[in-house]
Structure 1
Amino acid sequence: MTVPYFISSLKPRREMRTDGRPLLECILGLTFIQWAQFFSGWLAWTCDAIDFFSVSLSVTHLQTQFDKTANDITTAITLTLLFRSLGAVVFGVISDRYGRKWPLVVNLILCAILQLGAGFVQTFHQFLAVRALFGITMGGIWGLAAATALENLPVELRGLASGVVQQGYAAGYLIAAVINLTLVPSVSAGWRSLFWTASGISLFAAVIRALLPESALFLRAKEFEKERGVTSTEKTKVFFKETKRMLAKHWLLCIYAVILMTGFNFLSHGSQDLYPTYLETSKNFSSHNATIATIIGNCGAIAGGAVAGWVSQYIGRRLTIVIFVCLVGAFIPLWILPSTFGSLSAGAFCIQFGVQGAWGVIPIHLAEMSPPAFRATFPGVAYQLGNMVSSASAQIETVGGEHLKTYILEKGKLVQVPDYAKVQGILIGTVAAFVFIITIIGPENHASHFEKAKPAFEEGAGDDELEADEIPSRDRLSDDDEKASVKRINDA
């Protein structure tokens, strides 16, 4: 009996490269600029998460502020996720055409402005409007941040780096939780201070990126085109022609990537967005203890992302995802059945270790899977379209809680409350099974040298494909010319 290729291809293997170097040697060999660009990409994604989860952590406060139900407040989360796709398209296209640096700087400044505005709103409709606008600016961050962080690193480091970068999301959630735990209760502004602090951190991230140079790979490509005498207008025409060609050739891959990211976003948002509310409502935790449990969960997420990213470098991206999704399913009972703080916190750690471990592989998996010239636009748009489809995950859970009830002991009396434990258990179990299946049947381009591809504004970029472990033979610049080009860029 012949084993289907999509099953046999999961077999663990080391990357088959003749130029592969040990992990520690690669880390020690990084330049200051490579470290700084990696940090700036990580920080940008962290800022995105700080603000997004500011709403999740403030649901009960926002209910009081605007006199709305939890389901009404989660509308703001849904709107943010719905509009992120637009931002991914706009900023992704600009980045692939004009570079990584200034589109990300502008993106972060716009985020800071809207974060600041969220802290000044007076009505619920104003809050919804600001959150919808924020969704557009937020949508551009992930693709640009991942490209900034990963494309300047050696291929041997990209698995580990992917896990660390993606867990900027968990780190942002953790930072937001710490601010919510310490600052919010101690100032008269209350929940508004969380959004104002997030605004300041985003502005800081924009300054850091502005002080760093453009991606060396992108600068070399631009210099090569300049030496050929290609004008900016010509490059723009080529860019849109090659984009159209890429979509015509890779439309099936685009659909698969969106379906994959839909599952992943349901997995992430379904396990995180309503988690503090679940602990406070269904488990009768105080706001303080719910925040502490959230922090513990995000520590698990950070650990899982780094471990999974590193492991994926040796056994492949899809097999790593499959293993960590199985861990999610195994720990669902610990996540929803206990009633004590210690047990539920352990469940949060284990679930997020699995969820965000699987997620830690996604930045590099999508970058390697993408048509290489469009590795800012393609991953970003696929990710945010998946976000759009899964945008109602928090509302699905609140509606489920209206129909599934449980009882808690409050002041000596049994009180009926939404059973968010059962709702989240059902949702995450179903989604984990979906992600397991869709990952197994999908493609993988493990260890692709996408940094060798043509830029999106060069003829033929839409047809450019790189196989795993392949180093293209086409000589865009001779070795001497490339070294001279890099020296000029560094001197500049």
Structure 2
Amino acid sequence: MSAQKSGSADKGFLTRLTSATAFGEGLDGYDLGAISVVLPFITKDFGLSAVQQGLIAASTLAGIFFGAPIFGYLTDRFGRRKIFILDLIAFVVIGLLQGFVTNVTQLLILRLLLGLAIGAEYAIGQTMLAEMVPREGRGRRLSSLQVAWYGGFLLSVIIAYVLHSAGLDWRWILATSAIPGLATLLLRQGLPESPRWLASQGKEDEAREIVAEHLGEDYYEDEDLGGETESETRFADLFRADMWRGTTFACVFFTCLVTPYFAIFTFAPTVFASIGIHDAKASIIGTNSVAFLGALAGMLVIEKVGRRSLLLTSFYVMVVTLAVLGIWGTAPAVILLACFAGFAFFNAVSDDLTGVYPAEIFPSELRGSGVGLAAAASRIGATAGTFLLPIGIDHFGIGPSLLAGAAICVVGLVVTHLWAPETTDLSLTKTGEADPSGRDGDGNAADSAH
């Protein structure tokens, strides 16, 4: 039976579900974009030391590090829907409270709690979406999460600059995150539990009822929900003999994408200055615009190119562009700009896979835990990149620091070659069985282009 018949699903429901999930991912980008703009104003207002600035900048990342695996495990144990709603309520309340802080301690606590809510969103969002949408177009819908992240970041940077120019206090600039958070919360009202999770818990009747109402009568068989087996949820199972390669791949490739990503924001003003653009605002907005276009392009081609090929190609381009920037720092401005833009673009293209692969390669009883662990590992890379890059520049210079970024991408490239499966067109029941050679869950060669 063709998976196309699952197209009898309620299109309005699928659009609402995708939007409700993607907007949640966009909230992280929105929050990080806003704090990147207002941190200098916070520093001036509170007289922050360098250590305090670092703590404020890293507090949300620390919250994500703890929140993603904890809440991912909880969703595997108790279901997706409740936490899918509760973490948005927490985000709205905490975001709004930022408008009332009077000292750095209060702000630090709120930023840490906000990170926990965002971490929960990382674990739940792509898990919920992956388990509900049909296999046809699943990669495109999951990629929309990263498009929303870049869109949220870019939007918040523009809004923050405009509101600051209008004289609005930095507290209320941060608190504006409650507005898109509330809109996302309203979109999530009334969404059902994941039928795939219900099936994995032995609740087949409930799963079939939700499928019949929202996803079409053929969906249950087309997406192989009957292949879900009831299993006990144990976090340690992520490292059992048949799982550790997938777990390692998800954590490593995610980390290798995120760590050098922060070089974009460090070197953006320098690269733009080399071609006569000395406005920091223009360089930040320009860089994020390129990244947004990259994420959008990745979303549009992922189903035709395939997951594995798209990730490998992106890593190759990132290795080459960072190597050129690191070795040939005196190149003509047009070459530096082309390499810089190429890295930013393909980093964003491949970042789409962070919303796709983790949700596809873990079985239902471990999906939330696996996605959460991969997100937590990536935050280690984000923190390390933020902390170590200025030190590296101080001690070794810009060139060697960029070459270190290229080396990190080489690690991601090798791990992808070894362990990245091709999961395009496979049901979620089969994606976790796909092997790194590009074969499908039954051991047959999979054609990633269709």
Give TM class, smaller chain: 0.7 to 0.9
The change in CA–CA distance for 1:356 and 1:397 in structure 2 (over 3 A counts) is: same
Distance, in Å, in 2 between the alignment partners of 1:211 and 1:241 is 26
The change in CA–CA distance for 1:19 and 1:134 in structure 2 (over 3 A counts) is: same
Q: Name the counterpart of 2:143.
A: 163
Q: TM-score, normalised by structure 2?
A: 0.78
Q: Name the counterpart of 2:220.
A: none
The answer (yes or no) to whether the contact 2:238–2:247 under 8 Å persists in 1 is no
Distance, in Å, in 2 between the alignment partners of 1:389 and 1:49 is 17
Distance, in Å, in 1 between the alignment partners of 2:373 and 2:11 is 30
Distance, in Å, in 2 between the alignment partners of 1:183 and 1:341 is 33
**Is residue 2:260 matched to residue 1:267?**
yes
**Quick one: which of 169, 182, 186 aligns to 1:203?**
182
Q: Name the counterpart of 2:346.
A: 354
The answer (yes or no) to whether the contact 1:299–1:349 under 8 Å persists in 2 is no
**Quick one: which of 111, 117, 124 aligns to 1:131?**
111
The answer (yes or no) to whether the contact 1:118–1:192 under 8 Å persists in 2 is yes
Q: Offset of 1:61 from its aligned partner? A: 2.2
Moved more, 212-221 or 382-391: 212-221
**Is residue 2:385 matched to residue 1:393?**
yes
Match of 2:87, SS? helix
**Quick one: which of 148, 172, 191 aligns to 1:193?**
172
The answer (yes or no) to whether the contact 1:47–1:202 under 8 Å persists in 2 is yes
Match of 1:399, SS? helix
Q: TM-score, normalised by structure 1?
A: 0.72
Q: Offset of 1:210 from its aligned partner? A: 2.1
The change in CA–CA distance for 1:84 and 1:399 in structure 2 (over 3 A counts) is: same
RMSD between superposed Cα atoms in Å:
3.9
Q: Name the counterpart of 1:292.
A: 282
The answer (yes or no) to whether the contact 2:76–2:233 under 8 Å persists in 1 is no
Q: Name the counterpart of 1:321.
A: 311
The change in CA–CA distance for 1:197 and 1:224 in structure 2 (over 3 A counts) is: same
Distance, in Å, in 1 between the alignment partners of 2:199 and 2:382 is 38
Q: Name the counterpart of 2:417.
A: 440
The answer (yes or no) to whether the contact 1:368–1:444 under 8 Å persists in 2 is no
Q: Offset of 1:445 from its aligned partner? A: 4.4
Moved more, 434-443 or 355-364: 434-443
Q: Name the counterpart of 1:173.
A: 153
The answer (yes or no) to whether the contact 2:64–2:376 under 8 Å persists in 1 is yes
Distance, in Å, in 2 between the alignment partners of 1:281 and 1:396 is 23
For 2:44, give the aligned amino acid: T
Distance, in Å, in 1 between the alignment partners of 2:158 and 2:46 is 24
Moved more, 367-376 or 211-220: 211-220
Match of 1:447, SS? coil
Match of 1:441, SS? helix
Q: Offset of 1:174 from its aligned partner? A: 0.7
Match of 1:156, SS? coil
Match of 1:155, SS? coil
Distance, in Å, in 2 between the alignment partners of 1:290 and 1:123 is 28
Aligned residues: 415
Q: Offset of 1:369 from its aligned partner? A: 1.8
Q: Name the counterpart of 1:54.
A: 34
Q: Offset of 1:102 from its aligned partner? A: 2.1
Q: Name the counterpart of 2:213.
A: none
The change in CA–CA distance for 1:276 and 1:181 in structure 2 (over 3 A counts) is: farther
Q: Offset of 1:29 from its aligned partner? A: 6.8
Q: Name the counterpart of 2:47.
A: 67
Q: Name the counterpart of 1:8.
A: none
The change in CA–CA distance for 1:310 and 1:283 in structure 2 (over 3 A counts) is: closer
The change in CA–CA distance for 1:398 and 1:59 in structure 2 (over 3 A counts) is: farther
The change in CA–CA distance for 1:424 and 1:174 in structure 2 (over 3 A counts) is: farther
Unaligned runs of 5+ in 1: 1-17, 229-237, 405-418, 455-463, 472-492
Q: Offset of 1:354 from its aligned partner? A: 0.9
Q: Offset of 1:430 from its aligned partner? A: 2.9
Q: Offset of 1:198 from its aligned partner? A: 0.8
The answer (yes or no) to whether the contact 2:139–2:356 under 8 Å persists in 1 is yes
Match of 1:271, SS? helix
For 1:152, give the aligned amino acid: M
The answer (yes or no) to whether the contact 1:305–1:353 under 8 Å persists in 2 is yes
1:219-269, CA deviations, whole angstroms, 9 ceiling, x for partnerless residues? 5666835689xxxxxxxxx86555555543424533343233221221333
Distance, in Å, in 2 between the alignment partners of 1:172 and 1:381 is 23
Q: Offset of 1:349 from its aligned partner? A: 4.5
Identical columns (%): 19
Matches within 5 A, 1:354-373: 354-373=346-365
Match of 2:177, SS? helix
For 2:418, give the aligned amino acid: I
Distance, in Å, in 2 between the alignment partners of 1:140 and 1:187 is 33
The answer (yes or no) to whether the contact 2:262–2:385 under 8 Å persists in 1 is yes
Match of 2:63, SS? helix
Match of 1:373, SS? coil
Match of 1:140, SS? helix
The answer (yes or no) to whether the contact 2:307–2:424 under 8 Å persists in 1 is no
The answer (yes or no) to whether the contact 1:304–1:356 under 8 Å persists in 2 is yes
1:52-83, CA deviations, whole angstroms, 9 ceiling, x for partnerless residues? 23222223223322334666523323332233
Distance, in Å, in 2 between the alignment partners of 1:107 and 1:351 is 33
The answer (yes or no) to whether the contact 1:97–1:239 under 8 Å persists in 2 is no
The change in CA–CA distance for 1:280 and 1:342 in structure 2 (over 3 A counts) is: closer
